[in-house]
Amino acid sequence: MFQTSNHGLFLKVGMLLLMASLSLATACDSASDGKSNSGGDGDSDSDGDGDTDGDGDGDGQYLIEAYMGGPLSLDGFSVYVGRINNSDPSAKDATITINGTSVVLRPLMSDDNDAVYYAAGVGYEPNKAFQVEVSLGGKTASCSFTAPEGTDVNFDPDTDITLAAGDPLNLTWVFSGGTPQQLHLTIYNETTTQVDEDLDPSTTTYTVPGSETADWGGSGATYVASVDLGEFAYPFTGSLAAVTSVTALVLPGAATSVIMAK
């Protein structure tokens, strides 16, 4: 298992479930004729090994990016399957389960090169073990992980904050579901990030001194204070999975507005 404190990194993985087809399809299209090759075997590479992009990922491997949390409910589970070699079976033909529950194809969001699968109600709980299985074209991939502690965080009080420039900003939050493994705080607006910091996971208060808020802009300037519980990536193993295949888990966060006083 890998952990990252790069806030928002795996939100991009969620977007890949909808958008990765653009980049991967372009790569596949560049080798889509399947006929022009010096190996004479009908694949689109020069050495006849089925790898069209030279990275060693041919021979029936697929990019698998599974996603739980973030903008999705933790009870929802999505999987993107990307075909690397056009001569391999359609990405729409995968069989996917999570803890034995079928993850079904979303046909309107899928084609032979890029397919999206989804399951609702997977029963997310802290410390619960998950097993993801993917099979396609006679090959398999699997990903095992245990959900971390900490499922929710809320600011206390959960209301907007009005702050005079030069006054300290005091933030407090509470956890439910146990102490998280990671904690990240960001205070930002459209143009400026004032705080971007990893905190000790047991932290429940944070103060920005008045000497710093004095430069936060004039009356009416608004910032967002956001605290989140971390982002995790668990790799797939097996002959089906390309080397970058992962399940990404983004635990929920909380946000409140900080409005500079008039």
Instruction: Give the tens place of pLDDT for each residue, 132-165.
Output: 999 999 999 999 999 988 778 999 998 999 999 9
150-169 exposure pattern, b = at least 16 Cβ within 10 A, e = fewer = bbbbebeeeeebebeeeeeb
| Gyration radius of the chain's alpha carbons | 23
CA distances from 245 to 56, 63, 147, 211, 216 (A): 14, 6, 18, 45, 41
Angle at 183 between CA 203 and CA 119, to 5 degrees: 135
Distance from the first to the final alpha carbon of the chain: 48
Looking at residue 19, what is its pLDDT? Answer: 41
- Residues 32-78 pLDDT 10s: 333 333 333 444 343 444 444 434 445 789 999 999 987 667 889 99
Looking at residue 152, what is its pLDDT? Answer: 85
Looking at residue 220, what is its pLDDT? Answer: 84
Looking at residue 18, what is its pLDDT? Answer: 40
Longest dimension (CA), the chain: 75
Looking at residue 114, what is its pLDDT? Answer: 98
Residue 143: which H helix or E strand, with range?
strand 139-146
Tokens 């080798």, residue located: 31
Tokens 């102490």, residue located: 179
Sign of CA dihedral 213, 217, 221, 225: negative
Question: What number is the average pLDDT over the span 196-210?
Answer: 95
- Residues 84-131 pLDDT 10s: 999 999 999 999 999 999 999 999 999 999 999 999 989 888 889 999
Q: How confident is residue 5, by pLDDT bands cut at 50, 70 and 90? A: very low
Evaluate whether 255 touches 24 at the Cβ level (below 8 Å).
Answer: no
Half-sphere CA count of 150, side-chain side, radius 13 A? 25
Looking at residue 72, what is its pLDDT? Answer: 63
- Assigned fold of 152-230+254-260: Immunoglobulin-like (2.60.40)
User: How far is the C-alpha of 29 from the C-alpha of 112, rounded, in Å?
Assistant: 12
Looking at residue 234, what is its pLDDT? Answer: 97
Supply the DSSP symbol for 147.
P
User: How far is the C-alpha of 141 from the C-alpha of 65, rounded, in Å?
Assistant: 12
CATH 2.60.40.10, the chain: domain bounds: 152-230+254-260
Neighbouring CB atoms inside 10 A of 262's CB total: 8
- Residues 223-257 pLDDT 10s: 999 999 888 999 999 999 999 999 999 888 899 99
